[in-house]
Structure 1
Amino acid sequence: MRPPNADRRTVLWVLGVMALLVTLTAIFAPATSDDDKAPTTYNSGAAGWKGAYLLLQRLGYNVSRSETPASMLDRTDAVHTTYVLASPNTPAEDTQKRDYEALERFLQRGGRVIATGSSGALFLPGGRAGRPTQFVGDLCNAMPEGNGELAQAGSFSLYDAAPWNALEPLARVDARCGADAVLVHRDYPHGGAMIYLASSEPFSNRGLKQDQSLHLLLLAIGPSSGESRRTVIFDEFYRGEQASPSDYLRGLPLRSLIMQALLVLLLLMFTYTRRSGPIREPVVVPRTSPLEFVESMGALYERAGVSKPATDGARRRLLGFLISVCGLPAEMAESSQRTADFIAQRFGISQESLATLLERLQAARYETLRPRDALALVRETDAEIERLQVMMKSSQSQPLVQEMK
């Protein structure tokens, strides 16, 4: 039997380790609250830019944060540097001219500057943002414009908060929300460029989940290797962000951690005398059925109200059938009316129901349907495919009267 002193020492060691773990967790664990809307590289919430900062590091970019004003850009290798201003605060009046001129010199020497928000537009030469014509509270699906490099990223989502409104003849619009210019660029000598976004949403942790936003980020930053590789500097000086250990405590459930530690302490006090008792055989947990996993995932999707994957899948399935089986040209698939006219003319069937169904599936991509409505739309799509299969077998294919344009 072990002596009492040995038991006490063991309990003290366990308590010491527990106290150390609780302290380290409280200090170094990241904040779990998502109420911070600041687009900084320290913010891991939905609106933060920490994801972009870490992602670029993994992709091989030399990434750093700047806690100094823009005048430090005079000491950088501008041709190989990209400077990012995420909705910065306006500089003090006595330093505005100095900072703005330093940024313009940086652009003239071949640097790239990415600025977001109305205050970010003021940092750009001749920049100014106006009032949006869209409703600010809703996400806007920005449509690409022109043949520029940034327009190749395609359509992306953002808040139309501060569209470009400067009379700058050399600036080129790459995307619009309605009539508002939400993505603008201007080229400078030696590969320099200024890039303006109406809001910080596309490059936020939430926005980068969209493939087009990620593509836009990489195009805006520049290459990560070769002779033109870019070093990325994220500004934190004009955001006023000063990271400290107390910042990481925000959002931590400290009261819950303390209660759990006290509970574990009580359990140790009541049970440490039985550590040398008999050991029971562990209970064998049966293997979970794969069907249970499927049902659990289905319940999660149902509780979350996720309908877009189902309707998108039904739309792709219908278009795939029309292209591969019915001979629909792929370039016609984007137009519901042209698709329905082609099928009706080719097989001599009514096109009204098919056109209506395609328009509803297209509209469902930008709406949040109730699960019941999404299920009905998916079933209607499957029924339409079966109807087309039956009518194809019973009707003879007719030649095209004219080429669909």
Structure 2
Amino acid sequence: MSAPDDRAREAVEAAYRDEWGQVVATLIGVTGDWDLAEDCAQDAFAAALATWPRDGVPRNPGAWLTTAARNRATDRLRRDSAGAAKLRERAVLDRDPAEPPPDEIPDERLRLIFTCCHPALPFPARVALTLRTLAGLSTAEIARAFLTAEPAMAQRLVRAKRKIREAGIPYRVPPAELLPGRLAAVLAVLYLIFNEGYDDDGDEQTARRALTAEAIRLGRVLVGLMPGEPEPRGLLALMLLHEARRATRTHDGVLVTLEHQDRSRWDRALIDEGVATLDAALALARTGPYQVQAAIAACHAGAPDAASTDWPQIAALYARLAQLAPSPVVDLNRAVAVAMVDGIPAGLRMVDEVAASGLLDGYHLLPATRADLLRRAGRAAEAKEAYEQALELAPTDAERRYLASRLREL
């Protein structure tokens, strides 16, 4: 492929990351048909792949793609009598009187998020549907995020769209009195989008990195939409503090654990913004799980080196998090903090309790955490066995390389 073709393909790929959600959201608003919106968005990107190498990349790729997708949707609807009636109906519909005026909705994609997070949908379906339509993740990628088989996830998405259609769920940001009830699912969507981009490695990380920027951008917008709610600020702070460490998470394709990261390379501007955002959330005096997680991240960010980490404070924060949002993953992370405060045996006992519950079977960080504590305790043979188990379960190359290096050291 020639250089212009390469540049055009790169431009299409960049536009997919940047514009997919907006194109789909706009088409859903125009047609009211989720499947048609996705299909026509895909057609628009296929058309871009065919024409941009010949005609050049347009000055505004998002506008080009939206226009192409809208024209495709209009053509398909006009060929169908019911579709033509739908177009005429939607052209004369007045705005829902319960919907906030346009200047109160800063981004069309928020309309899509809140529609996906309607309480009539099961919680996993809300998150999965938004990841598919807003971020453009494939069914396989969403299934991995949910630790679910791909066919099951495909059925979940089909059922969610059918529910929206049959129940007549409105495509809008809900009125102010209903916003808090939708907030938990919206925040979960944003955090999963962030983690989908943050956890990948290698070439895939480069391709998916825009997801973290998208999650942070939408987090800022959500904070502006709901300034009196502390948890959006808590989530935004958490994402900023994690993003500040991104450059040090891997080295030559190998995962670098927090204690070994070069803290001089952490992004101080993002850390400062994250801490300020957390302070603003805490000032609202309604503590939630995302604020506590951000406070834990802030403890790490505030330590100039691993040795000066305030582990007693982190252990106390994990105890609070376990009260607010109990989960075996929280218990596993708390075990590490307890080990740093009360000694390795105390931490290992907590890890063994988590393992005995069976709730984290197949989760690679369970044996990886146990292996690290056993290594610190000088129990090399047991640590080796646990590292081997973690290596079999690790989902990314960076983590597998890290675990393999630990095994070589043992």
Structure with higher helix content: 2
User: TM-score higher than 0.5 here?
Assistant: no
> Which bin holds the TM-score, normalised by the shorter protein?
under 0.3
Structure with higher strand content: 1
- With structure 2 as the length reference, what TM-score do the two structures score? 0.23
Bigger radius of gyration among the two: 1
